[in-house]
Amino acid sequence: MGRIDRIAAPWGTRTPYGPGETWPTRVDSYLADGLSEDDVDRWVQSATILHSNGDGLDIAVKDNRIVGVRGRAVDRVNHGRLGPKDLYGWQANNSPERLTRPLIRRNGELVETDWDTAMDAVAGRCRELLDEQGPSAVAFYTTGQLFLEEYYTLGLIAHGGIGTNHVDGNTRLCTATAAAALKETFASDGQPGSYTDIDSADVICLYGHNMAETQTVLWTRILDRLAGPNPPQIVCVDPRQTPVARAATVHLAPRPGTNVMLMNALLHEIIGNGWIDRDYVEAHTVGFDELEKRVQDYPPELAAEVCDVPVEDIREAARIIGHAERLFSTVLQGFYQSHQATAAAVQVNNVNVVRGMLGKPGCGILQMNGQPTAQNTREAGADGDLPAFRNWSNDSHIADLARVWNVDPLDIPHYSPPTHAMQMFRYAEEGSIRFLYVTATNPAVSLPELARIRSILAQERLFLVVQDIFLSETAQLADVVLPAATWGEKTGTFTNVDRTVHLSEKAVDPPGEARADLDILIDFARRLDLRDKDGAPLVKWTDPEGAFEGWKECSKGRPCDYSGLSYDKLRGGSGIQWPVTEDAPDGTEHIYVDGQFWAQPDYCESYGRDLVTGAALDETEYRALNPSGRAVLKAAEYLPPHELPGQDFPFQLITGRTLYHFHTRTKTARAPQLQAAAPEVWVEMSASDAADRGWTEGDLLEVRTPRGRVEAKVRISGIRPGVLFLPFHYGYWDEPGGHEPDGSGRAANELTLTDWDPCSKQPIFKTAAAAVTRLATGDGPSSAPTTTGSRPVTGDVPPTRGGPAAEALEELATGGAR
């Protein structure tokens, strides 16, 4: 890495390469000040955890303490490269603020206690409520940062032991739509793309995906292609002028909430001009006729008016996509956290499918993840779905899972859909959920409408357990806090978005009395005395490798088949892409080769949903639609967002991430380089909006929605006019008392609304109506506050009256002629 400042230059130096060539190696490393590699006692194999890319790395250990990291040159994901959070984030492990002993609430205060007292309180209250109310009283809310072995154990305890349907993860906030979109098109989760597709693609489309900040090493791979011979063309869809947008051949910056309109216009052009692989469509899909008919109603002229995007840019993007020889598409939060999330993400699938761009080098889709182990949450059944992509609506799948777990099929809850996180918190608010076990996540900052969430978590009737490594805002509200080990302090596996499985070995002991999450969960199951139908302990393993072997049995024969993997196979070399089986012992780079999908009615994970209402199809409906298991081309009509700007709230507020922080900063703010790079919240505004109001960079603004207020300094950027951006990372753990009960402070989610996508149930963080007031100039308090709360902003309200395009939009939105 040399002396390059990786905060100022987050993507490092270029190593150009051309189509079909192997990405060159570049090994990045960082050691604590004053140390060299000769000072390191040992290097321990692992992979990165502060984003979702899954970069292979080795952990440097000296005197039983983590002192640095080095990229693994042999790893297929990163070829030795590391991003800023990889290089510096490990320092949080050594923070003196780590939790080291259990805490229990006594007389309103959290006080230290021993493990037996803490675990007896947790298991005892859970057992009381099971006896009094039954499984519906108990809920688990987990994360995207544990290991596969821990998720699988949690899913077994919750579904197979306790029998609750209330299990979900914070992955509901970031990648639920990824899973939902894949299920709608392919009837199963599992990513039909590989990072190596970047090496061959001639067109790369990024839909609502600021890869430059969310997956820095993957963006480095694209930058190296752009610097080499025959670079790919880039299409970017994002209302902000991100680094991706600046590198794009075409940048489409639609109004928030209009993604379905834009995607339908692109499909209108692609299908209408015959830029499709008709043989592939006829052999491997169902639903094309309905899709073709639907998108005829969405000409680029209509989309240009509704999305406020130049019509010629829509046509140019469609032309580039339509003429691609190798098309690679990625999707992330700009679509997932927006209005009509699943419907929009499905249309991205439709583009690749109608073009026949799947299952071969350079041709694929990555419905991206936002967390390092989000894929495992979904695979292992810790997000409410059943393990190994089994279908909760298919009785034979339930019977097969019961066989694996040796329980009665009736003990596995499948009488109704799994309870998603937003509904779980509503049940807790209403009082039916009375025990909530939160693992490695911080809903008191990350969920929408925080004043409401804090009031739910603080209820006396709710017994709140928090298992974490720091005393987060959520942990401060808990009845019991369990100190956990983190990455580098325990062993396990995790899987990234392109299905690459990595082994992360224990490098050092956790601080104090902190324990691995797996050990805590096994202890919890033991204290509840959970048994299989023969009276043996339900959880049969005592260590991570035993849990992995149990998972291999569970996954065998399912899409995410790990049966050919082992810890020994994962040691020493690169991560390996599942499925890994006897027939594919070295893993599988591309799935869905030659149109072979996992969509057969007897095998598929899901029968699908209505994209507008979210209503589930039943088995009979699905068999009639797709008897032979093809890809499903699902059309979607555009509907306007539920909360539109108006006179009192003239802006549209979107939230998102910054390159230097992860989630609610509990780790990254404790890494000095990362915290110094982004020390405080800010609000992003377009240059024209700022100029109209006489505001300048650094002015202190108050951003206001019907739910709360946030104070932040303004950054003037290339974001589209009429839109504001707030990073969501900033909470209050390092600013005690930093919020008011009415919903004011610095956390972006004070402002967001309680609403979610009908299919994925993912909250909508990107279409809130907002107003802005200047509180002070950059040099000090202003003499008179300037407000935009009563001043409409030209051009930021989608048309509903006037002109033929607007009339056509109204007809579509109200169910008129198709």
pLDDT digits (tens, 9 = 90+) for 131-171: 999 999 999 999 999 999 999 999 999 999 999 999 999 99
Number of H helices, E strands in the chain: 26, 29
Q: Which CATH architecture has domain 2-98?
A: Single Sheet (2.20)
Spatial distance between the Cα atoms of 766 and 658, rounded to a whole number of angstroms:
15
pLDDT digits (tens, 9 = 90+) for 742-779: 666 889 999 999 999 999 999 999 989 999 999 999 86
The neighbour count for residue 253, using CB atoms within 10 Å, is 21
Spatial distance between the Cα atoms of 318 and 237, rounded to a whole number of angstroms:
12
| E strand segments, 238-375 | 250-252, 285-286, 327-331, 364-367
Q: Which CATH architecture has domain 177-368+598-632?
A: 3-Layer(aba) Sandwich (3.40)
Of the pLDDT bands very low, low, confident and very high (cuts 50, 70, 90), residue 707 is very high
Looking from the CA of 529 toward its CB, the CA atoms found within 13 Å total: 5
The H or E element containing residue 207 is strand 203-207
pLDDT digits (tens, 9 = 90+) for 211-247: 999 999 999 999 999 999 999 999 999 999 999 999 9
Choosing among 2.40.10.10, 2.40.40.20, 2.60.120.10, 3.40.50.300, the CATH entry for 651-805 is 2.40.40.20
pLDDT digits (tens, 9 = 90+) for 240-296: 999 999 999 999 999 999 999 999 999 999 999 999 999 999 999 999 999 999 999
Of the pLDDT bands very low, low, confident and very high (cuts 50, 70, 90), residue 43 is very high
Spatial distance between the Cα atoms of 383 and 167, rounded to a whole number of angstroms:
6
Helix then strand then coil, % of the chain, to nearest 5: 35, 20, 50
pTM, two decimals, is 0.94
What Å distances lie between residue 271 and 207, 254, 483, CA to CA? Answer: 19, 21, 55
Spatial distance between the Cα atoms of 356 and 635, rounded to a whole number of angstroms:
17
Q: Is pLDDT above 70 for 793?
A: no
**pLDDT (mean) for 299-325:** 98
Q: What percent of the chain clears pLDDT 90, i.e. is strictly above it?
A: 91
Spatial distance between the Cα atoms of 443 and 227, rounded to a whole number of angstroms:
41
The H or E element containing residue 781 is strand 780-787
Amino acid found at 418: P
